[in-house]
Chains A and B, each alone.
Chain A
Amino acid sequence: MSNNPYKGLPESAFWSAGVAHHSPFEFEGLYSRKWRIQKKTQVATAGSCFAQHIARNLRARKFSVLDMEPAPPGLPEEDHLTYGYGTYSCRYGNIYTARQLLQLLQEATGAFEPQDIVWEKDGRFYDALRPAVEPEGLPTAEEVRAQRRDHLTRVRAMIEQMDLFVFTLGLTEAWEHVESGTIYPTAPGTIAGFFDPDKVRFKNFGFAEIRRDLDDFLALAREMRGGRNFRVLLTVSPVPLTATASGGHVLKATTYSKSVLRAVAGHFESRPNIDYFPSYEIITNPAARGLFYESNLRSVRATGVETVMKVFFDAHGTAASPQSEASTRPRTTPEAVAPQLDEDVQCEDALLEQFAR
């Protein structure tokens, strides 16, 4: 038999053995860590709603996840998520696009001034760049601005303190302020604000733009750190789009979005300080036949999150903890744990479904 380049490769290199005839709960060779995350590593997290699972599981396993805007101890724990506390390392809500991430740092350093950042609804005022962290809004626009000014000081401190930045790429679609280029996490008119097509337009980012935005983010963050390097762990959210404004079918738009984001992550993965963790592949694995998704085929079930986390923490030398994210939160009955898991992440884009009706 003649030699060929596939001969001698491990089973994981072959679709049949590695996927089709392999349990979707167990993986060998899917992820090899580039470097180990130590318990003392100062971890900062951001990204789309799936990133909330990662942050919560890191915390549950006693990793040092930065919390620059902690909740007041008197705020009932059941309200923490509602008000955006403990969700990420700062209270910026979901950051769906790389441009949004870049603009956050540019704003924090004074290099960019976002426009129309206060939205109004029913006499209450919202931070357009993180509208979900104050679900009831604030009584004045000035308080929104004051809160944002403080928030930005926390973001700067986070960038300076972090050793590792965990970022989940979520979407390519966004809403852009025409004149300034300000990117909003949600369309005006959903949570608050008013949609004026002359002022705000739909934007669907491409590979080159996202790659450049991430590059610019990395450069700016390094500059803020006085040149000190840091590590980055990228993931791609497996959560499909709730809706697309692209004019096409949501399935096609989802495939485009995730493909582009996955390609960008793959591009950056070659750098020694950047690792990619394939949570997207684990959840969307055809061998799972959709079982990691809820009946809406969008929300990720608890078993999916657990499988992702097992692969991640096995690779980082931390056994799957009995203190999973579900078990670290108070529940009245065991059966209440799994079905509620996905409800315990905040996804502004899920609101689109309600507002589209």
Chain B
Amino acid sequence: MKKILWCGGSHLANARPLIEEAHDTGALGAFDAEFYVTGGPRNRDWSGAGGRYTVEGSVVSGNAHEPERRIDLAAFDAAVFIGQYIQPFKAFIGDVPHSSSVVERTLRELPIEGRFHDPERGIRHRWYNEPLVLFPPLVSGPTFLLPDPAPVGKRYGDVPQPLKQAYHNRMTDFCAEAGITYVDMPPELFTEDGRTRRRYALPGDALHMNAEYWHVVFDKALLPAMTQIL
């Protein structure tokens, strides 16, 4: 049976019931699903501290979350990343409309190299998502990226629209270079200032979305993008 590898962190966890439903009884019934936690703070900090996947042929080693895991990526007919795990509110906080030069410099190395600073938490991270580069050429079929949901909070709404657009452009350019299909989110999910509408958020959570959100994403964005393998 054909297989799809699903990668990501907390957003993958929120979308997982819907993914399993699609594999069990829905549009992805011709495929088996396998999940691999490549995101989340633990993996981010691991890669930020120098942790790297090793590769033998098409087999990649584990990460901080699943150190003993070995996955043969050639065995998959597609891979889907749920979230790139670097959200634009990490790169831009507040309402300063930075110049195009500064924005370009800021995003130049997204999402593979470069550091970003979270001043509120006093944390410095590298925005490193190695699997986005490493996995696609090893998978037997196409790779898809669903971007992180836009946060619902005002803090993200205050970020000037050109900055959000620049971030989006950088991600799509990167995906084009890396041979990844970037899945654009349906516009109905967003407010005018680019936030996800609050009705789609989990209760008391500005970053993670509910089943209704993922239904819209699947039905109107991801599944149409996956027609090439369906």
Contact = CB atoms under 8 A, between A and B. Distances in A.
A136 B105 CA distance: 11
A146 interface: yes
B66 interface: no
Interface of A: 69-77, 79, 83, 134, 136-139, 143, 146-147, 150
A-B pairs, top 5 by smallest CB distance, nearest first, are A74-B91, A74-B106, A74-B116, A73-B117, A75-B106
Given A75-B106, A76-B115, A134 B92 contact: no
Contacts of A150: 96-97
Given A70-B94, A83-B105, A76 B100 contact: no
A74 B101 contact: no
Contacts of A79: 105
- The binding surface of chain B is classed by DSSP as mixed
A146 B99 CA distance: 9
A75 B92 CA distance: 9
Contacts of B90: 73-74
A72 B96 contact: yes
Given A74-B107, A138-B99, 5 more contacts: A69-B96, A73-B118, A76-B115, A77-B115, A146-B97
Contacts, number: 61
Interface residues of B, number: 25
A312 to B, nearest CB: 26
A73 B101 contact: no
A72 B99 contact: no
B115 A83 contact: no
Contacts of B106: 72, 74-75
B114 A72 contact: no
B102 A83 contact: yes
Interface of B: 90-94, 96-103, 105-107, 110, 114-119, 127, 163
- The binding surface of chain A is classed by DSSP as loop
Contacts of A72: 91-93, 96, 98, 102-103, 106, 163
A121 to B, nearest CB: 14
19 contacts: A70-B94, A72-B103, A72-B106, A73-B92, A73-B93, A73-B117, A74-B90, A74-B91, A74-B110, A76-B105, A76-B114, A79-B105, A137-B101, A138-B100, A138-B101, A139-B100, A143-B99, A147-B97, A150-B97
Contact of B99 (A70, A74, A77, A134): A134
A93 B47 CA distance: 37
Contacts of A136: 101
A118 B114 CA distance: 32
Instruction: Identify which of B91, B98, B102 gathers the most chain A CB atoms within 10 Å of its CB.
Output: B102
A19 B161 CA distance: 59
Contacts of A138: 99-101
Given A75-B106, A76-B115, A134 B101 contact: yes
B97 A74 contact: no
A238 to B, nearest CB: 32
Contacts of A73: 90-93, 116-119
A87 to B, nearest CB: 14
A143 B100 contact: yes
A147 B127 contact: no
A75 B97 CA distance: 14
Contacts of A76: 105, 114-115
B92 A74 contact: yes
A150 B162 CA distance: 14
